[in-house]
Amino acid sequence: MLSRMASSTRSVDRTLKLLTDLADPDQGKSLSDLARASQLPPSTALRLLAALVDSGFASRDVDGGYHPGHRLIQIGAAALREDSVHEHSGPHLMEIAHDTGETANLGIQIEGERVLYLRQVASPRLIQGVGWVGRSIPMTGTAMGAALTGDVDASGYAWTEGSVEPDVVAVAAPVRGASGGIIAALSVLAPSYRTDRAKIEEIGACLVEHCRALSEGLGAIDDRKAVAA
Amino acid sequence: MLSRMASSTRSVDRTLKLLTDLADPDQGKSLSDLARASQLPPSTALRLLAALVDSGFASRDVDGGYHPGHRLIQIGAAALREDSVHEHSGPHLMEIAHDTGETANLGIQIEGERVLYLRQVASPRLIQGVGWVGRSIPMTGTAMGAALTGDVDASGYAWTEGSVEPDVVAVAAPVRGASGGIIAALSVLAPSYRTDRAKIEEIGACLVEHCRALSEGLGAIDDRKAVAA
DNA sequence: CAGACCGTTCCATTGTGTAGAACGCTGCTG
DNA sequence: CAGCAGCGTTCTACACAATGGAACGGTCTG
């Protein structure tokens, strides 16, 4: 691993890595956890985390554990607000969740090879435990990934079974921006046992229709340049 | 300004400052703008920003301007998801906006002295231009601030006129967590000309009711410790 | 009680971050 | 058209900020 001859900014790179780990829901949040995840000596991790705490990017609870800080929440909220897709998808997601009775999601492509769940409206009747917002899944083999690459059937949607989780059907359709390119995807996740072929078609039609409306709204409003680069 | 003898982490502190400025909607986004805002020589700012870009925290558009990057969006989404207040306030905000016909907001206290707008549902009929999410206002003299400090009238809400913006009435009520402390506030913003005393009372009653329901939901679910510290 | 693991402080070493100088570029303005 | 101002960028020698090993006290386990 003698990589990174990029620009000689070790402490900064390390701190940003720590910051990323800090926001990762799957990670432990103790000093040693974070130090180990970043392959740093505890003393170094401690100092860098202290800098994050000083700046409000992290906070510590009484047990000494680290959490995302208020500044991170502030910046995140501001960044999301600048994302017009996120902004306008809200009502559509709610309608989709209502009409299909299943969980509706908004996803975008990040880092070229993954899908980030940006927003989620849970099935109205089902009290759903897991939230996927902020997590990412691979592009390949998933309905979201197919939709984001434009790999959809004649009706305009893609679907898979068991790709994200076992016994779950995923249906997805692409959202297009003002430039015509695909900038996001809407999807629905539903348990396999209550999802037959007819249901999938119904969901697909619903998604395609809402994606069309959402794309139209986005095209009319603004062309945010570097939002999903 | 000979402060910060804190812990000797200059480059990190500076980078985090740049990151904060980057997400500030009111700031210019060119290299010189950011360098000036942080009082840094351009060469230094360039290198630190390059580190942010390398890590995906920032991105550059074709003009050379800087923007929040995908990682920032990812982290922001994850951080917001961990905030149970944000999560559960959604339906309440929508109902409030629907029932009152005005814009409903969720705010929390940050840095001890300011109120951060975390979430907003615009008035259903009014196509509202400005979004306040991610921005902050002072505690003192605002309805949000009063609600967050518990400074409410007998009915359980606080209101002001013209404190955030001229000719706007603000009404706010506190949300309480499992520990009983105030962790957030819901508010409604309405133009003065269509808001008389009776309307304010109506809005106040609506807010208090929803805050009660929201607090109950939060108390029953989970006690997120350091979320508003 | 020994051992493991934790968070934290300290400090000599060194390598990373710093900022000034210099360059090419674009867009003003007299 | 020449002159100037401001931009983004590269390069470099120097100095100081960042590093991580060692050592300490605390808590938890077996």
pLDDT, tens digit, 9 for 90 and up, residues A145-178:
999 999 999 999 999 998 888 889 999 999 998 8
Q: In chain A, what residues touch B72 (CB-CB under 8 Å)?
A: 75-76, 79
Is a pLDDT exceeding 50 seen at residue A3? no
Which chain B residues have a beta carbon less than 8 Å from that of A13? Answer: 51, 54-55
CA distances from B122 to A59, A122, A198, B29 (A): 31, 21, 36, 28
Question: From residues 16-45 of A, which are strand C contacts by CB within 7 A?
Answer: 30-33, 35, 42-43
Q: Is-contact B178 B223, C-beta < 8 A?
A: yes
- In DSSP terms, A116 is beta-bridged to A108, A136
Residues on chain B touching A80 (C-beta within 8 angstroms): 73, 76-77, 80, 133-134
Q: Strands B182-191 and B103-110: what pairing?
A: antiparallel
- Please tell me if residue A12 touches chain B, with a CB cutoff of 8 Å: yes
Q: What is the pLDDT of residue A217?
A: 84
Place B224 in a pLDDT band, splitting at 50, 70 and 90.
Answer: very low
Confidence of residue B158 (pLDDT cuts 50, 70, 90): very high
Chain C footprint positions (protein CB, under 7 Å): 5-10, 15-21
If you measure CA to C1', which residue is closest to nucleotide C6? Answer: A32
Place of tokens 């990040």: A110
Task: Test A7 with B54 for CB contact under 8 angstroms.
Answer: yes
Q: Which of residues 38-67 of B touch A (CB under 8 A)?
A: 47-48, 50-52, 54-57, 59-62, 67
Q: Which residues contact A67 (CB under 8 A, 6 or more apart)?
A: A22, A29, A58, A59, A60, A61, B82, B225, B226, B227
For the cut 80, the answer to whether the pLDDT of residue A15 exceeds it is yes
Q: Does residue B110 surpass a pLDDT of 90? A: no
* A48 CB and strand D closer than 7 A: yes
Residue A10 beta carbon within 7 A of nucleic strand D: yes
Which H helix or E strand runs over B199?
helix B197-221
Start-end of H helices in chain A: 10-23, 31-37, 42-54, 70-82, 84-100, 143-149, 197-221
Mean pLDDT value of segment A211-223: 75
B74 Cβ contacts chain C strand, under 7 Å: no
* pLDDT, greater one: A56 or A227: A56
Q: Give A126's pLDDT tier (boundaries 50, 70, 90).
A: low
B41 is near strand D: CB distance < 7 Å: no
Q: Distance between CA A112 and CA A9 in Å, rounded?
A: 24
Q: Give the pLDDT band of residue B126 (cuts 50, 70, 90).
A: low
| Chain A from 150 to 179: CB within 8 A of any B CB | none
Nearby residues of A141 by Cβ (< 8 Å), 6 or more positions away? A160, A163
A window 207-226, beta carbon within 8 A of B: 225-226
pLDDT in the model for residue A61? 86
Query: Which segment, A1-5, A127-131, B220-224, is predicted with the most confidence on average?
Result: A127-131
Mean pLDDT in residue range A113-132: 76
- Which tokens in the block code for residue B101? 């016909």
pLDDT at B55 over 70: yes
Mean pLDDT over residues B182-205, rounded?
94
Neighbours of A150 (CB within 10 A): 11
Between B87 and A129, the higher pLDDT residue: B87
Euclidean distance between CA atoms B145 and B109, whole angstroms: 8
> Hey, which of A109-113, B104-108, B162-166, B225-229 has the most confident mean pLDDT?
B104-108
Q: How close is the nearest chain A Cα to the Cα of B156, in Å?
A: 26
What per-residue confidence (pLDDT) applies to B164?
82
Q: Which residue is nearest to nucleotide D20 (CA to C1')?
A: A41
Q: Measured CA to C1', what is the nucleotide nearest A10?
A: C16
Mean pLDDT value of segment A109-126 = 82
CB contact under 8 A, B87 and A131: yes
* Chain A residues within 8 A of B60 when measuring between CB atoms: 226
CA-CA distances (angstroms) from residue A21 to A66, A121, A178?
A: 11, 25, 34
Q: Which nucleotides of D are covered by protein (CB under 7 A)?
A: 6-11, 17-22
| pLDDT for A19 | 95
Instruction: Tell me: pLDDT of B82 over 70.
Output: yes
What domains, with CATH codes, occur in chain A? Answer: 10-76 (1.10.10.10), 83-221 (3.30.450.40)
| Residue that wins the pLDDT comparison between B134 and A99 | A99
- Tell me: pLDDT of A227 over 70: no
The partner residues of B134 in beta bridges, in order of sequence, read: none
Report the pLDDT averaged over residues A89-107.
92
pLDDT band at A221 (very low <50, low <70, confident <90, very high): very low
Q: Which residue of A has its CA nearest to B81?
A: A133
CB of A229 less than 8 A from some CB of B: yes
**What gap in Å lies between CA A111 and CA A160, rounded to an integer?**
23
Which residues from chain B sit within 8 angstroms of residue A125, using beta carbons?
Answer: none
Of the listed ranges A1-15, A44-58, A145-159, the one predicted with least confidence: A1-15
What's the gap in Å between the CA of A164 and the closest CA on chain B? 19
Residue A225, CA distances (Å) to A34, A83, A221, B56, B130 in order: 34, 10, 13, 16, 20
Weakest mean pLDDT among A1-5, A100-104, A122-126, B39-43: A1-5
Please, which residues 100-139 of chain B have a Cβ atom closer than 8 Å to chain A? 108, 110-111, 116-119, 131, 133-136
| From B6, B79, B136, residue closest to A23, measured CB to CB | B79
pLDDT exceeds 50 at position B226: no
β strands within B122-193, DSSP E: 136-138, 158-161, 168-176, 182-191
pLDDT for B13 equals 96
